[in-house]
Structure 1
Amino acid sequence: MILESIVTTVDENGVVNIAPLGPIVLPPDPDELLPSFLLRPYQGSKTCENLLANGKAVIHVTDDVLLLAKTAIGHVPADGLVCQAVGGSTHHQRLVDCHRWFAVEVTSYGGTPPRHEMKARCVVDGVQRPFFGFNRAKHAVIEAAILATRIGIIDSQVIRDSIEALRTPVEKTAGLDEAEAFEMIVQFVSERLL
């Protein structure tokens, strides 16, 4: 199962990077209670750079699609979003607002650039608040955010057509945050696919 999430990583200067990531959830190892994850960051991303440098991240489960959209289209300053180090490491920085989080450490590296594959074990986890859930608009924003991160990888017309198809569920079921997130992504994609 792929978990659409937001991940925090920390660089050598202590600067927190917040980015979307879709890790694959792996069953726990026989001697573990918590799941393991397969992280697949793209080479050149700050997330990949930080994971290669120190092998630590925090995976966050959230229904905040506005934050997810912001992370997909550009740098999101960590000020006010990150609350504390968890798991005994300053490289594990947790978001203030999320449903569940997993502090992970990479145990093995593989894959073929541009996409790395890093198996990571969970060292500590927590629940911040109950999961509210997704409506059709939230799902559409997540799909649009993924498309925005694939500019230069997927054919431009496929991206335009796919985002346009996602407009209907947003128009029918979006709240203010979902509508803002979707329009932010549409503008970002339009500017880059002239």
Structure 2
Amino acid sequence: MILESIVTTVDGNGRVNIAPMGPTVQGNGPGDLIAEITLRPFGSSTTYANLKPGNHQNSGKAVVHVTDDAMLFARGAAGDIAPEQAAKLVTSIDHHGYRRLIDCHRWFAVEADHFSEDDLRATVICRIIDSGVVRPFFGFNRAKHAVIEAAILATRTHLIAAEKIDQELERLRPLVDKTCGPQEREAFDFLVRTIEKRCSRERTSGHG
């Protein structure tokens, strides 16, 4: 199963990175814990650099979060959360090098057991070393799902043709219009602007 989540990692200078990611989760362990989580960051991403073995003392460590914060997904996909802002959104947990979101539903602190990579992505198989529940999960509506889909598109502008992205946004827009609250509206509009800018850059550079 792929879980849409927010992942926090820390670099060698203690700077926190917040990024949306869809890790693969395997099975249930004792106490209803997910037994294994596999992260697949792009090789060009900060998450990749922070997880890569040997880069720094925090290498291979991450916290995977379940949250319904639509704007956090949007800003994370846009790379719009500076380290100084990220630092205000997280708190330390007992294990060295881990920072979890202060506000989330559930979190899993993980450590890499196996790291491999190809030309595009790394595959990081992680074991769970700790977890916690912060507050009950209220639930998703269709607008929140649409924001997550738009956030994924925002990270794929270098891989998907601009025309196809436009088509997908038009498919998602009615879901937002019909079911959104203020946060979902703000997040979706923010992502549309981000995607337009990125697609324009891709076309200018000759990649679109």
Name the TM-score, length of structure 1 as normaliser: 0.94
Q: Matched residues in 2 for 1:183 and 1:116: separation?
A: 31
Q: Matched residues in 1 for 2:114 and 2:3: separation?
A: 20
Cα distance, 1:75 vs. partner? Answer: 3.3
Gaps of 5+ in 2: 201-208
- SS at the partner of 2:103? coil
Identity of aligned residues (%): 51
Does the alignment pair 1:180 with 2:186? Answer: yes
Cα distance, 1:92 vs. partner? Answer: 0.9
Does the alignment pair 1:125 with 2:131? Answer: yes
Gaps of 5+ in 1: none
User: What one-letter code is carried by the residue in structure 1 that aligns with 2:95?
Assistant: G
Q: Matched residues in 2 for 1:23 and 1:111: separation?
A: 15
Change (3 A) 1:64 1:29: closer
Cα distance, 1:28 vs. partner? Answer: 5.0
- SS at the partner of 2:2? coil
Cα distance, 1:74 vs. partner? Answer: 1.4
> 1:134-177 deviations in whole A, cap 9, x for unaligned?
00100000000000100111111111110111000100010000
Aligned length: 191
Q: Matched residues in 2 for 1:34 and 1:152: separation?
A: 32
- 2:204 is matched with none
> 1:52-92 deviations in whole A, cap 9, x for unaligned?
03100000000001111010011312132112x22421x21
Does the alignment pair 1:58 with 2:66? Answer: no
Q: How does 1:95-174 map to 2 (within 5 A)?
A: 95-174=101-180
> 1:34-57 deviations in whole A, cap 9, x for unaligned?
421111000010000000031000
Q: How does 1:61-76 map to 2 (within 5 A)?
A: 61-76=66-81
RMSD over aligned Cα, in angstroms? Answer: 1.6
Q: Matched residues in 2 for 1:190 and 1:33: separation?
A: 40
Give 1:86's match in structure 2, choosing from 86, 93, 107: 93
- 2:16 is matched with 16
Q: Matched residues in 2 for 1:117 and 1:29: separation?
A: 21
User: What one-letter code is carried by the residue in structure 1 that aligns with 2:86?
Assistant: A
- SS at the partner of 2:127? strand
- SS at the partner of 1:192? helix
Q: Matched residues in 1 for 2:141 and 2:33: separation?
A: 31
Change (3 A) 1:168 1:36: same
Q: Matched residues in 2 for 1:33 and 1:179: separation?
A: 33
Q: Matched residues in 2 for 1:108 and 1:157: separation?
A: 38
Name the TM-score, length of structure 2 as normaliser: 0.88
Contact kept, 8 Å, 2:7 with 2:20, in 1: the verdict is: yes
Contact kept, 8 Å, 2:117 with 2:123, in 1: the verdict is: yes
Q: Matched residues in 1 for 2:157 and 2:174: separation?
A: 22
Q: Matched residues in 2 for 1:59 and 1:138: separation?
A: 19
User: What one-letter code is carried by the residue in structure 2 that aligns with 1:164?
Assistant: E
> 1:6-33 deviations in whole A, cap 9, x for unaligned?
0100000000001111100012579x95
